[in-house]
Amino acid sequence: MYFKMTLVPFFFAAPRMVQRQCRAMTSQSVSGKTTLSSRLAKQIKVTKTKATTAKQELWDIEDLHSVAATTAPRYFSPVQTRKQRQVNTLPKSNLPAKKARQDEVSKTSKIKIGTATIIKCELVPPNETMLELKVEEAAAVKTEQDFPNANWLQHLENIRLMRCEKPAPVDTLGCHQCADQNANEKTQRFHKLVALMLSSQTKDETTFEAMKRLKAQTLTPASIQGMPAVELERLLHPVSFYKNKAKYLKQTSQILVDKYNEDIPDNIQELLKLPGVGPKMAHICMATAWNKITGIGVDTHVHRIANRLAWLKKSTKEPEQTRVQLESWLPRPLWSEVNHLLVGFGQTICTPVRPNCSECLNRHICPASASVLAKKK
Ligand code: SF4
């Protein structure tokens, strides 16, 4: 009960505070040597010096339990605890802030969920399902022991901050960006499915270029069906496993022509029956093509980072095991966002080999950071 009372206001106040921090940070001119951490610290210092006036606005999270439930709404800083502020050193940074990104970051939107307002960064592709969720569903959270790691929300806030600061290939070249905006909706849905099928074990840049070559001709299920296999393979190369993917694309296109009038299925079960479509692709396809959140799209980045951050009760070997565990405790309104956040975070900072832990805001609360740093020595 105590946890429920404390987590829920924290949960909804947190994104609001992150947005304030991001806006404040991006409005500054940033020299190449300033770190995200130091800018964050400056923000906190400003808040502290204005303590008497700002107290009504921003409270330390540690004071949460001392505030009577009947008082006016309070907002609690989720960014760092008091202890973290004390222990956080401020190393020199090589984290570049780009002006284009600053403009991007300012594009945030407010989403009402019941009586709560969530500030959503535009980096994350929108989905309508989120709008339909009631606050009770989001808050039907879970007791403390349901969370595999008590720091998970702090991890998430830090990743939001880092993602706002550093662009990732998925933001501009991800599958949701691969559809021809001038095509009709049905064709756009097919483009997203094709991009997802090509993206497996392939860099976003390579997938995006292959999609450009495919779209330079007509890209519909009928056109793929009628295209010689050799020509399709030539267009897909150098996408990894391009021969297999060409074969799956032709088989899938045949099914879409025969059964779905050249559209794609609107449910997860039918999507999974298409050749070459696995659970990750199917869930992301439902989100990007149909705006329906049916599950967390767990790719190699989400799988790796969830294990590194100990977001799982037991470490996993397969992405599908990770998906099942994450969905068992992560609040549903975060499912879509988590996929996009973690993929970009894995492309830029928490990379598969030699993750950039010294630059990571989670370095003091990440179970993997110490071992990673030790291996580097
Ligand atoms: S492994 Fe390193 S980069 Fe990844 S979350 Fe942990 S501290 Fe951050």
Q: What is the pLDDT of residues 217-263, one digit of tens each?
A: 889 999 999 999 999 999 999 999 999 999 999 999 999 999 999 99
- What pLDDT score was predicted for residue 255? 97
Spans of the chain, pLDDT less than 70: 1-145, 370-377
Q: Cα(14) to centroid of ligand 1, in Å?
A: 21
Amino acid identity at 72:
A
DSSP states along 133-165: --HHHHH----GGG-S-TTHHHHHHHHHHHHHH
CB 282 within 8 A of CB 268: yes
Rounded CA gap, 369 and 363, in Å?
A: 6
Nearest CA to ligand 1 atom 2: 357
- What pLDDT score was predicted for residue 162? 92
Residues 6+ apart with CB under 8 A from 185: none
Q: Cα(171) to centroid of ligand 1, in Å?
A: 20
Handedness of CA 273, 306, 377, 158 (dihedral sign): positive
- What pLDDT score was predicted for residue 165? 85
- What pLDDT score was predicted for residue 102? 46
Report pLDDT digits (tens) over 120-168. Answer: 544 444 444 444 444 444 444 455 567 888 889 899 989 999 998 888 9
Residues 6+ apart with CB under 8 A from 118: 12, 15, 16, 110, 111, 112, 333
- What pLDDT score was predicted for residue 194? 97
Q: What is the CB < 6 Å shell around ligand 1?
A: 308-309, 349-350, 355-357, 360, 362-363, 366, 368-369, 372
CB 271 within 8 A of CB 264: yes
Which tokens is 263 given?
A: 């559209």
169 sits in the region (left: phi over 0; alpha: psi -120 to 50; else beta) called: alpha
Active site residue 245: no
